[in-house]
Structure 1
């Protein structure tokens, strides 16, 4: 039984210390920080001008009350659709940012792969003609 436990722990340790898992952990941490930046961008920079264009509407205040609060008995039931709109804008900006980032990475990887490919010997037109002449002369001698 102890042998199985040691093997399990060893396998888990190997799994957890693989490069992909560590890369994923770093990605999640950076993604969390990126999410805060994008949320601030949307809330503090993008939404105020949009609110101004829509007549000073603050999207966080956009709600629909399903049931009014009864003092001492129940809370109000409210749908905060303004926050939903703000979260949709957050998502669109994050998705666009990730898309652009992936496009740039793919473009860089493509250039790197093209540079690492061995260059074929590209013969000039003159070299091709000389090779053909050589081959014709060789065949005529036989």
Structure 2
């Protein structure tokens, strides 16, 4: 470590500029790598896609269900313990929360479960369509290795874990 106190002010400034320049170069090299940009774009698209699916569930699918049950589907709850006003009847989750009651919000959970299911089915369908149009494998099917029971690619000729041949033969037949 150089003695900073005895170093001329001009040299200290050059060293600081050099260090900042190397940090900037490293950051630029990291951020402009293909996979970082692809991940960033993918996350932005995934966030937008998730908000569309959440809107589909909350604004299109659940209102007809709420008509059938005569109450807002996401507002279904059970009171586990009353709040300060022990004799109160809560019409909404907000009323129960304001009174300090402990509730079991099963309607909100079921709403999130429906959103998760629809998002999963939609992503699977998009993967199948992409695979059909591009001939690029997106959904990789797996099997269990008969020897070590680890999950491996269905198209694997050898297990990457135990190196056994998947066609049941031994190694001498493949040389």
Q: TM-score range by the shorter chain?
A: 0.5 to 0.7
Q: Which runs of 5 or more residues in structure 2 are unaligned?
A: 2-14, 86-98, 137-175
1:93 aligns with 2:107: no
Larger CA Rg, structure 1 vs 2: 1
Once the two structures are superposed, the pairs formed by residues 25-36 of structure 1 within 5 Å of their partners are 25-36=40-51
Match of 2:60 in 1: 45
Bigger fraction of residues in helix: 1
TM-score normalised over the length of structure 2:
0.52
Which one of 43, 50, 68 corresponds to residue 82 of structure 2? 68
Displacement of 1:5 in angstroms is: 7.3
Which residue in the other structure is 2:167 paired with? Answer: none
**Whole-angstrom CA distance in 1 between matches of 2:41 and 2:110:** 29
User: 1:11 deviation in Å?
Assistant: 3.5
Q: Deviations over 1:19-53 (max 9, x none)?
A: 22112111211221211211111111111222334
Q: What SS does structure 2 have at the residue aligned with 1:70?
A: coil
What runs of 5+ residues in structure 1 fail to find an aligned partner? Answer: 112-142
CA–CA distance in structure 1, aligned partners of residues 25 and 64 of structure 2: 55
Counterpart CA distance in 2 for 1:100 and 1:108 is 12
Q: Tell me what 1:84 maps to.
A: 109
> Structure 2 matches for 1:1-142, cutoff 5 A?
9-53=24-68, 55-70=69-84, 75-110=100-135
* CA distance, structure 2, for counterparts of residue 48 and residue 38 of structure 1: 15
| Aligned twin of 1:138 | none
Across the aligned residues of Structure 1 and Structure 2, the Cα RMSD in angstroms comes to 2.5
Whether the aligned pair in 1 keeps the contact of 2:80 and 2:101 (CA below 8 Å) is: yes
> Helix, strand or coil: the match of 2:56?
helix
- The Cα shift of 1:8 comes to 5.6
